[in-house]
Amino acid sequence: MRLENKVILISGAGLGMGRATAKIFSEEGASLILNDINDSDVKETLDMLQGDHRVYTGDISDSSMVLDMFTFIKSSYGRIDGVINNAGIGRAPGDGENAEIQETNDEGWRGVIGVNLDGTFHITREAVRLMLEKNTKGSIVNISSTSAYTGDGPLAYCTSKGALLAFTRALALNLSSKGIRVNAICPGPTSGRMMDSIPQEWQDSLAASIPLGRLGEPEEVAKTSLFLISEDSSFYTGQTLSPNGGSHMH
């Protein structure tokens, strides 16, 4: 029970890595706040869990929604011990068919950056404020992607995921004296909603190109999150772990 008596927020908890993380964290004794923009998805996740958990549906690109969510967290639990910034999108309306710069309008660019980067900022800011108020030695985990290194993917997506790594390092330095740790995860190609959106033959080709010969599973990313959010990683901050099957080595 590595997370017993810990209150942890997971964004993007409706499907995939977020849902897998919620399952593992609940088994480890955490009290969870599950956030997603899709109410039915996140409530389905909640139904899979046992324990004291809450759902808060909303768009993290809206800073006022995030502020309201943390008012709810404070009234429900009085504290926050950890955050998994997992919510993210690959494309947004206005992102060109091939997501190339000449095809992307302002709405498409802002849509992806708004969720992946601004949303992480909004959540982390409010979490840190509450951690400092309660003198909590918390842990924050930002979910990036190997696309941050390779540039393989839609332009706005790769940009946002790369920015998350710089955000992680700067924030880790900024908060180290407060005892708050900040780390990142860069999953490689992983089964789930985003992967299901591409043709099966592409998925098969991608899997064949990975040295371990398969796509990652959401549970494997969730177990990395468990390590980083728990005291098992007590001397880790400003670091990036990458469960990717050898698809990217650095």
* CATH number of the domain encompassing residue 211: 3.40.50.720
Q: Which of 65-69, 76-80, 93-97, 242-246 has the lowest mean pLDDT?
A: 93-97
Whether 169 is covered by a domain: the verdict is: yes
Helical H segments across 4-118, by residue range: 16-27, 39-47, 63-76, 106-113
204-223 mean pLDDT:
93
Q: Does residue 7 carry a pLDDT above 90? A: yes
Tokens of 146: 């190997």
Q: What angle do CA 80, 85, 86 make, to 5 degrees?
A: 135
Question: Is residue 1 domain-resident?
Answer: no
Q: Would 103 be classed as within a structural domain?
A: yes
> Strand, coil or helix: what is 223?
helix
Tell me what pLDDT residue 112 has. Answer: 95
pLDDT tens digits for 179-211?
Answer: 999 999 999 999 887 777 677 887 888 889 999
Q: Which two tokens stand for residue 28?
A: 């480890």
State pTM to two decimals: 0.95
Q: In what order do the strands lie in the sheet with 7-11?
A: 54-57, 31-36, 7-11, 82-85, 139-143, 181-185, 240-241
* Residue 249 resides in a domain: no
Q: Please indicate, yes or no, if residue 246 is contained in any of the structural domains.
A: no
For residue 177, tell me if it sits in a domain.
yes
Token pair of 224, please?
């990395």
Tell me if residue 149 is catalytic: no
Q: What is the mean pLDDT of residues 44-68?
A: 97
Range of the domain at 176: 7-241
- Of 200, 180, 182, nearest to 191 by C-alpha is 200
248 domain residue, yes or no: no
Q: Which of 72-86, 91-105, 108-122 has the lowest mean pLDDT?
A: 91-105
Nearest Cα residue to 82 out of 13, 131, 138 = 138
Residue in 77, 149, 157, 236 annotated catalytic: 157
- Report the domain count for the chain: 1
- Provide the total of helices (H) and of strands (E) in the chain, helices listed first: 10, 7
For residues 44 and 18, the answer to whether their CB atoms sit within 8 Å is: no
